[in-house]
Amino acid sequence: MRCKAAQQMISAAQDGELGVDRRAAFQAHLDGCAACRAFAARVAVAAGLVVEWEAPEPSWGAADRVMNAVTAGTGSRGAAREWLDLLRPAPLGLSAAAFALGVALTVFANGAPASDDGSPEAGNGEQVAEYSEAVSNDSIETSLLALLTEQEE
């Protein structure tokens, strides 16, 4: 077994997800390869650090609010409509809005405003409310999200 193949098995080995045959081959390689042993040790240390990342406990009453929303038949949608306004311009501004939308999709496709850059993201309940309202409307917003999903896939 080559180092590359052995290294690709490290995760599964550490998770106990290698079958008997693959485990034996993996172990045989590791026994004779100091570099892969060192790499495996470092991967294990990094994995150990990840589990120290704590998540907050839910706030008091959050589960009750979920049931209230279920009873009301609503998600977290609220009154905020800022982003819908961007998509629903006044009639006279349609061409400008279409241009803005085209630019936005181009920018989006190029990844410039991507939020997955690891930086903390602005996040609050109002923003989720806007999101919920947007996706709950079976209109242009839904179509845009579908389009973006296709682009990503």
Which residues ranging from 99 to 138 are in contact with other proteins (CB under 8 A)? 100-101, 103-105, 107-108, 112-125, 127-132, 134-135
Number of neighbouring beta carbons within 10 Å of residue 139: 12
When asked if residue 20 is in the footprint of other proteins (CB under 8 A), the reply is no
Taking CB atoms within 8 Å and a gap of at least 24, the contacts of 139-145 are 140/87, 141/84, 141/87, 144/87
Question: How many H-runs (helices) and E-runs (strands) does the chain carry?
Answer: 9, 0
Decide if 144 contacts 84 (C-beta within 8 A): no
Decide: is 15 part of the binding site for other proteins (CB under 8 A).
yes
Closest CB to other proteins among residues 24, 96 = 96
Closest to other proteins by CB, 45 or 90: 45
CB of 153 to other proteins, least distance (A): 10
* Shortest CB 99 distance to other proteins, Å: 8
Q: What is the DSSP string of 18-48?
A: S-HHHHHHHHHHHHT-HHHHHHHHHHHHHHH
Residue 135's identity, in one-letter code, is V
Q: Work out whether 145 is an interface residue with other proteins (CB under 8 A).
A: yes
* Residue in 28, 70, 94, 140 binding other proteins, rule: CB under 8 A: 70
User: 24, 28, 35, 94: which one contacts other proteins (CB under 8 A)?
Assistant: 35
Task: Decide if residue 69 touches other proteins (CB under 8 A).
Answer: yes
